[in-house]
């Protein structure tokens, strides 16, 4: 089974956004396809009520492209749509029926429950197995699970043995005649000549059923690999209801694709050596399914952010400026568009770059440069101005900055001298100036910002702060 051409597949169902767990599974498949010269097949499993399908599908394709899985890459094939192959699925089911591997059953869900209650056992009791029912409306087609055991050879878990006695005769075709997931999935994998099925662990219980289907269809099963699921802080499988799982959302918040990819790969696997931050090329070279951990991994946003900070700081300033642009020119920006000055931002960029871990932190860090008036954080203002001599420092600074040379060093020295008169260190002295000009007590380096703001605007803001005390400054 391993001498077939290497063909992997990623088979998401279009549910509206791209799940980080799906992204990791896709990446695992992709890394293998790339290194081994195999093919990565994208198949959209849209057989359920897939409303709005084209939109969701495009979302998946865009998200895959973002993490580097590009539809134009020679290793990429697809997308295929499962819904387009319904006839094949049904044809396969018919073959299974004709070969005696499947039979029709007319029991309703209620009837199955009643029988289960009466017998004290759970689930369907294979009641219709030998009733020889013909196909008919409302009748489902069930697979006749053979006696014996099914051994699944799994690249990450080894051999997993299932007693077929614990597997009930599952449904292949609904009463409406439409194919079920288990069947469609296998038939598609067979026709697409898939050699390796790499997917999340939640599918492991399905695997013996699917393997029996492969065999009943006269095919050699693929190599299986079930990777551990991603969990939340409560150690539950990541769910879209309570957890933040949309790749698109992280992208919009300014997580870099490279950082996301790198982080995702370290969940369940680790590059050799003491460094987790490694380029994709190294991942491709070293990733092995056999090395994937067996236990679930917590998707830790803090660590993702830390990775992202590393990637941001590794960029050139020019790259950083380019990546910042969408955030600075979006419609959500707090300043009037006409007041934004890219030249000013570019001057600040290097200082901002080493202070953010996500791109969306840029705007609140530089907003005071482009706002007509800074938004004053009242708590910070009150606290800073209550410090001994804070107001006096403010007053004196206004006077000194009237004539000071307008460069960062001079502004710093001037303020240092003023602070010295009150026996204050620069850290204390700059606080009232910072809050007066930026509105906050934290932010990027002050004097560099003042230079960009200009003397007039700086003085205006300093006086504005002073006037808050009633005794209009100047």
- Residue 36 or 276 having the CB closest to RNA: 276
Cα 212 from Cα 151, distance rounded (Å): 10
Biggest alpha carbon distance in the chain? 102
- Two tokens at 325? 């642009």
Task: Give the residue from 352, 375, 374 showing the smallest Cα distance to 363.
Answer: 352
CB 46 within 8 A of CB 85: no
Decide if residue 337 touches RNA (CB under 7 A): no
Which residues in 91-110 contact RNA (CB under 7 A)? 106-109
Q: Are 215 and 1 in contact (CB under 8 A)?
A: no
Q: Determine, following the binding rule CB under 7 A, whether residue 162 of this chain makes contact with RNA.
A: yes
Question: Judged by CB under 7 A, which of 34, 297, 363, 385 binds RNA?
Answer: 297
- Active-site position among 117, 236, 240, 293: 240
Using CB under 7 A as the binding rule, whether residue 316 contacts RNA is answered as no
Distance CA 26, CA 12 (A): 9
Residue numbers 376-395 binding RNA by CB under 7 A? none
Nearest-angstrom CA–CA distance, 154 and 222: 10
Give how far the C-alpha of residue 446 lies from the chain's centroid of Cα atoms, to the nearest Å: 35
Closer residue to RNA in complex, CB, 74/427: 427
Find the binder of RNA among 52, 58, 122, 316 (CB under 7 A): 122
Q: What SS3 class is residue 424?
A: coil
d(CA 360, CA 256): 11
Span 186-225, contacts to RNA by CB under 7 A: 201-206
Interface residue with RNA, options 254, 309, 374, 439 (CB under 7 A):
309
The separation between CA 440 and the C-alpha centre of its own chain, rounded to angstroms, equals 32
Ramachandran category for residue 340: left, alpha or beta (phi over 0 → left; psi -120 to 50 → alpha): beta
Q: Which residue, among 10, 4, 15, 6, has the nearest Cα to 248 in the 3D structure?
A: 15
Q: Does residue number 466 form part of the binding site for RNA (CB under 7 A)?
A: no
Half-sphere CA count of 425, side-chain side, radius 13 A: 1
Instruction: Rule CB under 7 A: say whether 274 interacts with RNA.
Output: yes
Nearest Cα neighbor of 295 from 393, 249, 227 is 227
Quick check: 237 binds RNA (CB under 7 A)?
A: yes
Site for RNA (CB under 7 A): which residue of 27, 33, 267, 394? 267
Residue 331 CB, nearest distance to RNA (Å)?
27
> Interface with RNA includes 79 (CB under 7 A)?
no
Structure tokens at 394: 């403010």
369 and 375 Cβ atoms separated by less than 8 Å: no
CB of 86 to RNA, least distance (A): 10
Contacts of RNA in 37-56 (CB under 7 A): 45, 47-48
From 92-100, 187-195, 243-251, 296-304, give the range in contact with RNA by CB under 7 A: 296-304
Among 81, 181, 335, 406, binds RNA (CB under 7 A): 181
Residue with Cβ nearer RNA (131 or 293): 293
How near is the Cβ of 32 to RNA at its closest, in Å? Answer: 17
Which one of 176, 372, 423, 470 is in contact with RNA (CB under 7 A)?
Answer: 176
Torsion of CA 295, 298, 299, 300, to 10 degrees: -140
Examine residue 359 and tell whether it contacts RNA (CB under 7 A). Answer: no
> Is the backbone peptide bond immediately before 79 cis, with ω within 30 degrees of 0?
yes
The number of residues that bind RNA (CB under 7 A) is 84
The Cα 160–Cα 210 span in angstroms is 14
Q: Applying CB under 7 A, does 234 fall inside the site for RNA?
A: yes
Toward RNA, which CB reaches closer, 2 or 176? 176
Residue 257 Cβ vs RNA, minimum distance, rounded to whole Å: 19
For RNA, give the closer residue by CB, 158 or 334: 158
Please identify, using beta-carbon distances, which residue of 75 and 82 lies nearer to RNA. 82
240 is catalytic: yes
Binding mask 423-462 for RNA (x = CB under 7 A): --xxx--xx--x------xxxxxxxx--------------
- Write phi, then psi, for 132 (nearest 5 degrees): 60, 35
Q: Which is nearer to RNA, 38 or 309 (CB)?
A: 309
Q: Hey, what are 68's tokens?
A: 């580097």
Q: CB-wise, 58 or 329, nearer to RNA?
A: 58
Distance (Å, whole) CA 355 – CA 162: 53
Q: Does 289 bind RNA (CB under 7 A)?
A: no
State the catalytic residues.
240
């Amino acid at each position: 089974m391993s001498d077939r051409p290497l063909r992997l597949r990623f088979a998401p169902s279009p549910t509206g956004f791209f799940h980080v767990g799906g992204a990791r599974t896709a990446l695992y498949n992709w890394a293998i396809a790339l290194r081994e010269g195999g093919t990565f097949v994208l198949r959209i499993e849209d057989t359920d009520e897939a409303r709005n399908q084209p939109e969701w599908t495009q979302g998946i394709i865009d998200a895959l492209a973002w993490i580097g899985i590009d539809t134009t890459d020679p290793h990429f094939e697809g997308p295929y749509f499962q819904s387009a192959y319904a006839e094949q699925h049904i044809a396969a089911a018919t073959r299974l029926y004709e070969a005696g591997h499947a039979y029709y059953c007319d029991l309703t869900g209620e009837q199955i429950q009643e029988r289960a209650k009466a017998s004290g056992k759970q689930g369907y009791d294979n009641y219709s197995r030998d009733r020889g029912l013909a196909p008919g409306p409302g009748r489902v087609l069930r697979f006749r699970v053979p006696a014996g055991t099914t051994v699944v050879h799994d690249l990450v878990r080894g051999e997993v043995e299932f007693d077929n006695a614990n597997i009930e005769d599952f449904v292949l075709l609904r009463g409406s005649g439409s194919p079920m997931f288990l069947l469609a999935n296998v038939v598609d994998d067979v026709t697409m000549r898939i050699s390796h099925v790499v997917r999340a662990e939640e599918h492991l219980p399905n695997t013996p059923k699917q393997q029996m289907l492969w065999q009943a269809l006269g095919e050699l099963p693929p190599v299986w690999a079930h990777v551990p699921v991603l969990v939340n802080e409560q150690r539950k499988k990541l769910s879209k209801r309570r957890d933040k799982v949309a790749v698109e959302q992280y992208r919009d918040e300014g997580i870099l694709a490279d950082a996301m990819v790198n982080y995702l790969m370290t969940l369940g696997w680790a590059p050799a050596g003491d460094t987790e931050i490694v380029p994709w090329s190294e991942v491709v070279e070293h990733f092995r399914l056999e090395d994937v951990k067996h236990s679930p991994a917590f998707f830790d946003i803090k660590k993702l952010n830390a990775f992202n900070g590393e990637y941001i700081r590794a960029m050139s300033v020019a790259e950083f400026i380019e990546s910042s642009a969408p955030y600075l020119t979006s419609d959500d920006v707090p300043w009037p568009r006409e007041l934004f000055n890219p030249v000013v931002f570019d001057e600040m960029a290097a200082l901002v770059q080493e202070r953010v871990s996500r791109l969306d932190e840029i705007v609140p860090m530089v907003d005071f440069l482009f706002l007509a008036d800074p938004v004053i954080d009242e708590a910070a203002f009150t606290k800073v101005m209550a410090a001994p001599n804070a107001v006096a420092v403010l007053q004196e600074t206004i006077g000194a900055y009237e004539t000071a040379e307008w460069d960062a060093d001079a502004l710093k020295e001037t303020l240092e001298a003023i602070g010295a008169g009150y026996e204050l260190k620069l850290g204390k002295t700059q606080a009232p100036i910072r809050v007066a000009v930026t509105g906050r007590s934290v932010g990027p380096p002050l004097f560099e910002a003042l230079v960009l703001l200009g003397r007039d605007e700086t003085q205006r803001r300093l006086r504005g702060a002073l006037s808050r005390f009633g005794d209009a400054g100047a």
